[in-house]
A and B are shown apart, each in its own frame.
Chain A
């Protein structure tokens, strides 16, 4: 119950907040009101029945939600009582309600003056207090609404229909609302559905459709009993100011905006802002679609107060002018000449501390349940691993089979931003912001074991080797590069079976043999095309190297060259170094020098070296993968969070530094105060003002000052002495008394006596110490003062003669 109360309070706070924000920002230009339960024709019959039983509601009925769980006495007086003006307003409202129920007996009673947390009826308009908040995010309606929706947590009413009947007494939080069940089919879910549908095959689509049909039916069945009877309050933003092109609704629980034409809104009973209260007199048979939001039209909108209702559309400008002044009281003054104006709001000005603002949700945590999905939100730094948001999607309506999880992180030292876990495929994708030590951008994997399927993407500009992406399968590794000086753009390595000789196999100790390395290069404009290699393939096992060159701009074929290194021995037993059949080449433009064995030999030697290099690089890449995996594991374990140096609260170092600075400042201040202490002031004051001192006077002032100080020192010493003696005497008396009555004393009294003794002894000892210290310091202090007086600018010219 307690929790509930708190929530309600928070709600209220939030509601006030929002009202405030609106009033100061959105509301100033626009106009914002709440609105009462939607009504449709079909519902009216039900209502009629109920209303015939219930009759008019008396506002002073006790609130159903009791509010005594929090201390209402601490609330300001305005919360606990009504001013005369407010009383007057309540009477006006009652009068209005009576007339209304007389004129429209078939309509729902108005929601005019609910009880507040102190059980005092308050007119709804006065619960809104426009306030300007210091957060830029709250300046525009969308981010502001988002904040409010985060801040509110929804508590369902015991009976969703009840407020319709008794709203006036017990539903002070106007925001209190239950979404029509139809809202459950969220936009997000729809998108998800769309995606799935696109991906899935026709059959699956069919099946899903059938399922949807079924679900829809289920939902419909749910809707039927309460459709249109539920209470809902929401925010209406009127067009016309701050570049609002047309009126729209904001749902306070989602922070989402809806067109006034939206199907979800079945009708408007009444609406209000901090100035007035209007009852809708238009027919809502077609939802809100045909409503005209011209509040100045008394036929369509019945106003409650004449005072401000003068503010028809034309007067809206006047209102704005008045509203420009942030002080609500000013408004009142301005309206004084009118017949009756809205009393200023009784609620406290809303204050949102930066912590609360950052926390957003109550306790910094919020869970929103969607159809087949769950959204959890946390405040930054609340979770030690930096988790701020988690979206879980489920396969079924009961939310038992998880489909995928998306987790958003903030302030992680390893720059992890989003973790996407697909439960059905087992694929994990981690997204990183720029700044990871290994320049990691995306890491998608199924297991953290090396030599498995995995894709790593990198911020290539942060890497020396310009690596963009590395894809791995158990048998291959493919790397993509960009912006390298050697124009390498792609490397693909095929691995063979590991030679089994070690128990512990890893790329470091026992690398897998490489079967084939394919490298591709982009065009190097400085080389002629038939010397610029486009692709080279090292077939390591076959000892074959295949080169493909770039294509000339005006050609369609490219030169090729294939080297086959076989160590053979000729008839004389000499090793054959190079034979023409070891190099097969196709040249687009045949050249003389490339036909030479020497040239081919040199080219092959160079390639051999490059092969070694490439193998080494591939091996290093493998090592790097190991390293990154290790690093990732460590990071996951430690998950350190970064703290901005501007975050004065969390940054320990800066906090210490600031405190140290403050201490220094404080000490400095004390010193200054002491320095400014003017010993001479009382003595100089005795002399006639404005006259120059004579030497005699100066001497006298100085002597008087010194003697006075001396006297003070002596007095102080005497005082300590006196106290010391007093304590000693008392102790002696007690001791005497004790010795006399020792025999008759009870154990308790004896204890008391002993403790007294020890305390007295302590006091005596302290006094003694203080006396001794004073005796020591007094002469020094005296000398110090004398010195100071000698240097005093007012006396110095008279005294220096004697110095």
Chain B
């Protein structure tokens, strides 16, 4: 069946061709004229068949956003492309083409049935995104390596597989291998898999499968670990105190501090540094824990607020619904009454009455809404005050803790300076016994140099601390502002939606009434 494009004239997949196909496959019989009359939008099409069209390049399909089923079999396609937008695709048939590699399917996450029968594929890959895959047809291809099967283990939903006509299918162990490595498979090459055979295969390949499983298990565990860590970090970030649960900040202070590291070689500085680090880390931990606690508090505050708001809205909606339900009951009766009424004056009178009803409903609903808006506004303002206070308190306390850090740094700086000058004096006097690395010794040329070096180190440290503090404060504040803004915006949106909804409904009712009378008058 495979046809080379040089033997036939390839056709271009253009809008005309698609239109024809859509019309041809669209609604038939009574609905046909309707469809033609209105025209069918490509995005409404759910299923499209484009077989035996001599298509070479897949093209112009981007409009079919809602396509569920696409048949492109029996063409001369060489490359899978242009399907990126068809994310709702469930069924894709690309059999009897000239495809050499599986590609371009990364967005089709809903795909359940994929047929690549009779192509030139030699390797199964690039299917990772197809997590819902149930049926995979890869018969009559050029797959030669049994290891391709192992790749299929990741598709937990895969039940049907066909691989006959491939080089691997000639292998003696072909079936047993697949049974063993894909235990969830039900059908292979369109034949049901016997449970007994499955058991046999499993025991045959027990050893290697166990190894594989172990490996998979380890990978999975590692992934889980990583994910857990990420989650943890995310949690800390939400509390604005990430990386404060250890010596990370301290280490970063010394990471770019050349002088500071050099000075650590001075006698006595090592101990000093260690003591400094310990104290510093303790403060960091304090900040960290405080941050988490505050985060809990903020979350609780926010949750309570949301809950209350939701309750209020629900309550209000229920009231509105009740009013509308009551109105609808009456509405049906009213309509019928008007329909049955023959007297024109009576109709007029009833129309007026009914119109009044509608206006009344509108008033009631709008009053309800206005009430809610007022209530919510008050609550939101209260929340805003509270959350701002909370955040301010948090920042204040963190700042005071950061100030402690700074004090520590200053203290350390003084000590270090003292040691440095002492050392300098001793070097000048030639009393220094310890060996110092050359670059460290180079600092001790004169007093200015060493003071400068120590000062530079100190500056870097302070800068780091300041930066961290600034970051925390800025992020916290911006979070708070953003939160409050969102709440306000949401409320405004909600209010607009509701008002629009009410208006729409009232308009519809009014229209219905008007139309009714028109038609009656015409009658």
Interface residues of A (CB under 8 A from B): 551, 554-557, 577-578, 584, 586, 588, 593, 596-598, 601-602, 605
Contact = CB atoms under 8 A, between A and B. Distances in A.
Interface residues of B, number: 27
A586 B513 CA distance: 13
A605 B28 CA distance: 13
Contact of B34 (A555, A584, A586, A597): A597
B225 interface: no
5 contacts: A556-B320, A556-B498, A584-B515, A586-B508, A588-B501
B340 interface: no
Interface string B49-88: 0000000000000000000000000000000000000000
A97 to B, nearest CB: 81
Contacts of B313: 554
A648 B494 CA distance: 73
A597 B365 CA distance: 33
A551 B38 CA distance: 30
A598 B27 CA distance: 9
A593 B44 CA distance: 8
A596 B505 contact: no
A569 B444 CA distance: 109
B35 interface: yes
B366 to A, nearest CB: 12
Contact of B512 (A555, A584, A596): A584
A578 B501 contact: no
B321 to A, nearest CB: 5
B271 interface: no
Contacts of A596: 38
Q: Return the 6 tightest CB-CB contacts between A and B, nearest first.
A: A556-B320, A586-B508, A557-B505, A598-B34, A577-B30, A598-B35
Contacts of A556: 317, 320-321, 324, 365, 498, 501-502
A483 B408 CA distance: 69
A352 B169 CA distance: 82
Contacts of A557: 324, 501-502, 504-505
Given A555-B501, A556-B498, A584-B512, A577 B321 contact: no
A577 B38 CA distance: 13
Contacts of A551: 321
Contacts of A554: 313, 317, 494, 497
B31 interface: yes
B345 interface: no
A498 B494 CA distance: 53
A597 B38 contact: yes
Contacts of A586: 504-505, 508
Interface string B5-37: 000000000000000000000010011011101
Nearest to B66: A593
B38 A601 contact: no
A602 B37 CA distance: 15
Contacts of A598: 27, 31, 34-35, 38, 40
Contacts of B494: 554
Interface of B: 27, 30-31, 33-35, 37-38, 40-41, 44, 313, 317, 320-321, 324, 365, 494, 497-498, 501-502, 504-505, 508, 512, 515
A459 B34 CA distance: 48
A597 B505 contact: no
Nearest to A596: B38
A379 to B, nearest CB: 56
Contacts of B33: 577
> Which secondary structure characterizes the binding site on chain B?
helix
A601 B324 contact: no
A597 B36 CA distance: 11
A554 B498 CA distance: 9
Nearest to B497: A554
Contacts of B27: 598, 602
Nearest to B317: A556
A73 to B, nearest CB: 80
Nearest to A557: B505
A578 B320 contact: no
Given A554-B497, A557-B324, A602-B31, 14 more contacts: A555-B317, A556-B317, A557-B502, A557-B504, A577-B31, A577-B34, A586-B508, A588-B505, A593-B44, A597-B37, A597-B38, A598-B31, A598-B34, A601-B31
A555 B320 CA distance: 9
A556 B364 CA distance: 13
Nearest to A555: B501
A598 B29 CA distance: 12
A582 to B, nearest CB: 12
A578 B321 CA distance: 33
A438 B275 CA distance: 85
Contacts of B512: 584
Contact of A588 (B317, B504, B515): B504
A551 B497 CA distance: 14
B128 to A, nearest CB: 27
A593 B320 CA distance: 29
B493 to A, nearest CB: 10
A555 B316 CA distance: 10
Contacts of B321: 551, 556
A578 B38 CA distance: 12
Contacts of B317: 554-556
A562 B313 CA distance: 30
Contacts of B38: 596-598
A368 B469 CA distance: 91
Contacts of B501: 555-557, 588
B519 to A, nearest CB: 8
Contacts of A605: 31
A418 B365 CA distance: 51
Nearest to A548: B328
A584 B34 CA distance: 18
A577 B33 CA distance: 9
Contacts of A588: 501, 504-505
Contacts of A602: 27, 31
Nearest to A575: B30
A601 B30 contact: yes
B249 to A, nearest CB: 45
Contacts of A577: 30-31, 33-34
Nearest to B323: A556
Nearest to B314: A553
A61 B27 CA distance: 111
A605 B30 CA distance: 11
B8 to A, nearest CB: 36
A318 to B, nearest CB: 66
A584 B31 CA distance: 19
A327 to B, nearest CB: 67
A555 B505 CA distance: 11
A598 B40 CA distance: 9
B34 A578 contact: yes
Determine which residue in B27, B365, B505 has the highest number of CB atoms from chain A within 10 A of its CB, and name it. Answer: B505
Nearest to B29: A577
A578 B34 CA distance: 8
B337 to A, nearest CB: 15
A173 B515 CA distance: 92
Nearest to B515: A584
A94 B244 CA distance: 102
Determine which residue in A551, A555, A598, A601 has the highest number of CB atoms from chain B within 10 A of its CB, and name it. Answer: A598
A588 B40 CA distance: 24
B452 to A, nearest CB: 65
A483 to B, nearest CB: 25
B65 to A, nearest CB: 12
Nearest to B368: A556
A76 B501 CA distance: 96
Contacts of B504: 557, 586, 588
A586 B27 CA distance: 26
Determine which residue in A551, A554, A556, A605 has the highest number of CB atoms from chain B within 10 A of its CB, and name it. Answer: A556
A663 to B, nearest CB: 48
A260 B512 CA distance: 77
Contacts of B41: 593
Contacts of B320: 556
